[in-house]
Structure 1
Amino acid sequence: MTEPLDHDITRRGLLMGAAGLAGLAGAGGAFPAWARSGTPGLAPSAGVLSGEAIALTVGESHFSTGGRSAHAVTVNGTLPAPLIRLKEGQNVRIAVTNRLKEDTSIHWHGLIVPFQMDGVPGVSFPGIRPGETFTYDFPVRQSGTYWYHSHSGMQEAIGHYGPIVIDPAAPDPVQATREHVIVLSDWSPIHPHMLLRRLKQNGGYFNMQRQTLAGLLAGRDQGIRERLQWGAMRMDPTDISDVTGSTYSFLVNGHGTAENWTGLFTPGERVRLRIINASAMTNFNVRLPGLPMTVVQCDGQDVQPVETDEFQIGIAETYDVVVQPPEAQAYALIAEAIDRSGQVRATLAPRIGMAAQEPPLRARPLLGMKDMGMDMTGMDHGDMAGHAMKMRDPSVAPQVAMGPGVATLSPMPADRTAARPTGLEHESHRVLTYADLKALTPNKDQRQPSRTLDIHLTANMERYMWSFDGVKLSDGTAPIAFRHMERVRVNLINDTMMPHPIHLHGHFFELVTGAGAHNPRKHTVNVLPGGKVSFDLTADALGDWAFHCHMLLHMHSGMMRVVTVRHEGEGA
């Protein structure tokens, strides 16, 4: 699809007359060394930033991929940003200088830091003004794969993100000969404010995969009866991603498919891939056809090794996998958008110049009744209209503030942690679920929760309004309050038709999957449509913390709250 030219806001227009900017990120040497194609893997000499003192400069550049060029916000002049490699137990001072004409910030995603160092303007600090330098100073209390990004405006969507690797103080339980960092992202030449404006005008603006008459006649899509039922609810079973491959290019380490990012290996060796989803709006299905993956870490936390053929990675999640290529051939690393509107292919190969074959895009998925929070087992499909009315019944969730921002409430949300994620339900190969993840070591706090808190993920998708419990952050609602060290069971209930990657700053929580003391520890969890996820939280970090959907346009449209942790007796 060719995007219409919005010369007042489009970033393509900003390319003209841009000779005074920092350079063309994405053009060869503008990539940081770790992200360049043909890299042999991470090494201390590969342009990695480490040590006790690190300097970062946020500035303006341009970025080019797949024939598209646009304005970018970069760190030290590169996209993705430099790799920061730290050691568990050290202290680090990171001086961030702002060369933009607007405020900026850096949030250390998944790192346990004092709340004043968390980097969220208006919550934990005032932000970094143009021309100023702010020094983040904190102890490194963990190990694993993490990342960093701006929490100002929508800078994250236009290049302000980079990886973090923290080596453990003790011997690493993951044994690998070589390791590569894989940063997945999405890129549009249209400014994210314009993307949001278009979605406000038409929630399905970027959906180019609607059902057609040809699909009906060929039996690929829903039948007439089902279409009429969905139409009666004013909903679209193809509305899976808000922003799609119609405008997005999908990237691995800043490279599109044609640019063929290549990571090298020697046949037979164990290769660790540290995979980070730094997208603004895209959940990805990740696979290496013909090469099994052993998942060894999730969100920086070690898990009991589990072999799989494919997994879905929500925005802001990280997965570490180990692969062992047996032959001196090129293997494709495929990151496919969950709505199948596009994908990116990278290559693992024994030498530079090889390109793995790219498989065709698979058929786009269709949402079903389970994605509406309606378990249709044993139910007469003719009764759907009555259930649609129930979905709007405030008695289903009395704590939700009903109004124009809440279109539906799921009458029968189901725990889907053991279910295959959206679009992967019918694949013949192995697909990872949250229930497959088990913490490598027992969780430290195994107390039973003293109370339960339900939080509904709510929306009016037609008007592009997003919220928690029907309330937006801008509504001035009170923070979600916890007492220091209390143990709380939090139930996230998704009343929308889209998966939401929900991130809590400053804490890890344990997903309730039935693994007991080995429930997996995470900082971000993707809540499937019409589903619910429960996690146990020990509120061990004093201060004010952001809590939000990590789909950037959802967060900016209201799906964000502040969590406050105080000592007993102190005010929230």
Structure 2
Amino acid sequence: MTARIETVDRRTMMSGLAGAGLGLAWTDRAWAMTGDAAHGAHAGGNAMGTPAATLSGELIELTVDSAPVMVGGRRGHAITVNGTTPGPLIRLREGQQVCLRVHNRLDEDTSIHWHGLLVPFQFDGVPGISYPGIAPGQTFDHVFTVRQAGTYWYHGHSNMQEAMGLFGPIVIDPAGGREAEPHDREHTILLHDWSDVHPHVMLKRLKQQGGFYNRQQQTLAGLLAGRDQPLRERLDWGRMRMDPTDIADVTGSTYTYCINGHDSAANWTGLYAPGERVRLRVINAAAMTNFNVRVPGLPMRVVAADGQDVVPVETDEFQIGIAETLDVIVQPGGGQGAEPQAFAIVAEAIDRSGQCRATLAPVSAPGLVAPIPPRRARPILTMRDMGMGGMDMTGMDMASGTLDLSAPAAPMAHAHHGGMKMRDKSLAPPGMRLGPGVATIAAAPVDRLADRPTGLEDVDHRVLTYADLKARVPRPQAPPTRSLDVHLTANMERYMWSFDGVKLSENPAPLAFRAGERVRVTLVNDTMMPHPIHLHGHFFDLVSGAGEAAPRKHTINVLPGGKASFDLTADAVGDWAFHCHMLLHMHAGMFRVVTVREAAA
């Protein structure tokens, strides 16, 4: 049996689906094809942005190889899947059996992780945990029954190959053939970042200088123009040796931001007919970039998060952490006789150092190009991002107090916390390993699930928060039988990242769970940067006040200086990766193994 490439035309597909009694919407057959390419005008030949196939069937063959690319005027070297990056869209159906056969044509080991899919741990695709990896010239079969529906993706888990192009989308249709929220047309919107700089070189540069890629630091000109912090605040931050513009490690100074393999100039285009409900399956497949996403002029109706249906909620903008997926429905208007209109799909890096524009164009005028909006002013971090959200800051003397643990302990004389010593390492929780890799501890972290995410605090329109998400189908929530705190720790200046002060290379003990137990896990972010934390092999329920309607997710972006809790039922026996999905953070050590074992007889 061989993989099937979807090449049927719309009329044949719709006729076949109707005959089968399936009310599925029309889906573009080449998911990464631009509108112009769909009409025969695509010119290029590079792996990046080349129209990618859609693969389905019981056997899907994927070949990992390499190819030269040019993106944004920069030449580079990409890791490809079946000759393209992003790789082909894999389209499955809930309940089917599938064999995902991966061939390695590289001269180094490779692997593919099926992000968000519930699979036996030996097929999860993480070398050193699930299996040894796939050696050069070898093939590995991942065989499992598809247990879910929704929007997911796949990516490499070896040698930072993900940053070099080894990724692609997965869409799983529900077993019954009907989505909970109907739509007429859909487009996959895969966001990613691209650089001709090898990720290992990036890591080396950041180790040498933590702000190497930050070209948006505050200046004297900004102070005089009133664009930056007042002088006293800037001096306070300077005394703490912290940078309020340190929002993204790797920025638009080296990255080209892309949608479906196209930068703004290449302009990926998806079509719509006026009045249609268009589902956008948004996937953040970036290596290091959290994105703010909006469609100026169109409200977005959020209908799924991490592949799980949610109660629809309208918003004008959302931030999507690395490795998250969000499905939204937009409904471009315009009736008979109306002027055709193109809408921009804008993915903006959270530090606003760059962005990418794609286009939604009417079928009557597929060549229309939406305007590129001007970049907005870069954001600045606040005291809340320092983990002081739960403190009374009245009269605080920032010159004498700081969260910096790399300096000698000194009392914060004016802080209203009973003489708390902010540099005192007694602030560290039991079990945290203190050393050069832990420079800061959040003194009073608060739950930030209802906070607008970093950089969107003050925009004048609706912004999605985690507290807005509620499961479409409520589920009884068993109470947890124990709790576990995990601290996200770092020395940002020295570019050291860890959980509880321990890097993966220091061989920490696994986080151990008994099969079937219910545990409340609280992630405490002791750093001043958001971290998208992903648990393999499981979904968890966010503790957001929604009760039985708690949203289920596999990735949670924990805001700076804050905390987030989820309840986990450890229902998948095996060893699983648990890590920050910022690739360089993971590679530097923000990674643990979760082990789930049956209770001893």
Q: Would the TM-score normalized by the shorter structure come out above 0.5? A: yes
Match of 2:350 in 1: 338
Matched, 1:237 2:231: no
Percent identical pairs in the alignment equals: 68
**Compared with structure 1, are the counterparts of its residues 377 and 70 closer, same or farther at alpha carbon in structure 2 (3 Å cutoff)?**
same
Instruction: Please show how residues 226-305 of structure 1 align to structure 2 within 5 Å.
Output: 226-305=233-312
Distance 2:504 2:467 in 1: 32
Determine if contact 1:40/1:264 at 8 Å carries over to the other structure: no
**1:386 pairs with one of 401, 408, 414:** 401
2:568 to 537, 540, 543: 537
Asked whether 1:510 is paired with 2:575, we answer no
Counterpart of 1:409 in structure 2 is: 441
Instruction: For residues 44-77 of structure 1, give each alpha carbon's deviation from its aligned partner in whole angstroms, at most 9, with x where no partner exists.
Output: x983110111101000112211111100000000
CA contact (8 A) 1:116 1:124 kept: yes
C-alpha distance in 2, partners of 1:61/1:32?
Answer: 24
SS at match of 2:274: coil
1:391 offset after TM fit, Å?
A: 4.4
* Deviation by residue 1:361-390 (Cα, 9 ceiling, x = unmatched): 101000010000013555224256335354
Give, as a single letter, the amino acid of the residue that structure 2 aligns with 1:137: V
Give, in angstroms, the shift of residue 188 of structure 1: 0.4
Question: Could you tell me which residue of structure 1 aligns to residue 417 of structure 2?
Answer: none
**Partner Cα separation in structure 2 for residue 442 and residue 245 of structure 1:** 41
> Which segments of 5 or more consecutive residues in structure 1 lack a partner in the other structure?
1-30
Whether 1:35 aligns to 2:32 is yes
Rounded Cα–Cα distance in structure 1 between residues aligned with 2:423 and 2:354: 34
CA distance in 2, matches of 1:128, 1:265: 41
Take 2:220 and 2:379, find their aligned partners in 1: how far apart are those partners? Answer: 17
Structure 1 length as normaliser, TM-score?
0.92
Q: Using the alignment, how far apart are the partners of 1:57 and 1:87 within structure 2?
A: 22
Contact 2:52/2:89 (CA < 8 Å) preserved in 1? no
Cα pair 2:388 2:445 within 8 Å, conserved:
yes
CA RMSD of aligned residues (A): 1.6
Amino acid across the alignment from 1:318: T
Instruction: Kindly name which structure, 1 or 2, has the bigger radius of gyration based on alpha carbons.
Output: 2
| Structure-2 residue corresponding to 1:189 | 196
* 2:438 equivalent to 1:438: no
Work out the CA distance in 2 between the residues paired with 1:120 and 1:347: 36
Match 1:357 to one of 352, 362, 371: 371
Q: How much does 1:477 deviate?
A: 1.0
Partner Cα distance (1:391, 1:192) in 2 = 35
Separation in 2, partners of 1:203, 1:153: 21
The answer on whether the counterparts of 2:107 and 2:136 sit within 8 Å (CA) in structure 1 is: yes
Aligned match of 1:568: 599
Residues of 2 paired with 1:392 and 1:145: CA distance? 44
Give the Cα–Cα distance (whole angstroms) in 1 for the partners of residues 440 and 569 of structure 2. Answer: 31
Unaligned 5+ runs, structure 2 = 1-27, 40-50, 335-339, 404-409, 411-420
Query: Whole-Å Cα distance in 2 between the matches of residues 239 and 47 of structure 1?
Result: 39
Distance 2:441 2:272 in 1: 49
From 584, 587, 591, give the equivalent of 1:556: 587
CA drift of 1:398 comes to 2.5
**Shift in Å, 1:338:** 0.2
> Are residues 148 and 382 of structure 1, via their aligned partners in 2, closer, same or farther at CA, if it must alter by over 3 Å?
same
Deviation digits for residues 448-477 of structure 1, max 9, x if unmatched?
A: 000010000000001100000000111011
Contact 2:401 2:423 in 1 (8 A): no
Greater displacement, 525-534 / 63-72? 63-72
Shift of 1:240: 0.4
| 1: CA distance, partners of 2:100 / 2:397 | 61
State the distance in 1 between where 2:71 and 2:29 align: 16
- Secondary structure of the residue aligned to 2:55 is coil
State whether structure 2 residue 507 is matched by structure 1 residue 476: yes
Residue 59 (1) aligns with residue 65 (2): yes
Question: Between Structure 1 and Structure 2, how many residues are aligned?
Answer: 536
TM-score using structure 2 length: 0.87
> What amino acid does structure 1 have at the position aligned with 2:457?
E
Q: Label 1:254 to 1:386 Cα distance change in 2 as closer, same or farther (>3 A).
A: same
2:52/2:87 contact within 8 Å kept: no
Q: What secondary structure, in the 3-state scheme, does the structure 2 residue paired with 1:196 have?
A: helix
Give the whole-Å Cα distance in 2 for the aligned partners of 1:40 and 1:60: 26
Cα distance in structure 2, aligned partners of 1:199 and 1:333: 31
1:372 corresponds to: 386
Q: Quick one: which of 205, 209, 214 aligns to 2:216?
A: 209
**Residue of structure 2 aligned with 1:130, choices 111, 133, 136:** 136
Say which SS state the counterpart of residue 400 (structure 2) adopts.
helix
- Match for 1:75 among 76, 81, 95? 81
**Cα deviation per residue 1:166-199 (whole Å; 9 max; x = unaligned)?**
0001232120000000000000011011000000
Deviations 1:468-525 (A, max 9, x none): 0000111011100000000000000000000000000000001110000011100000
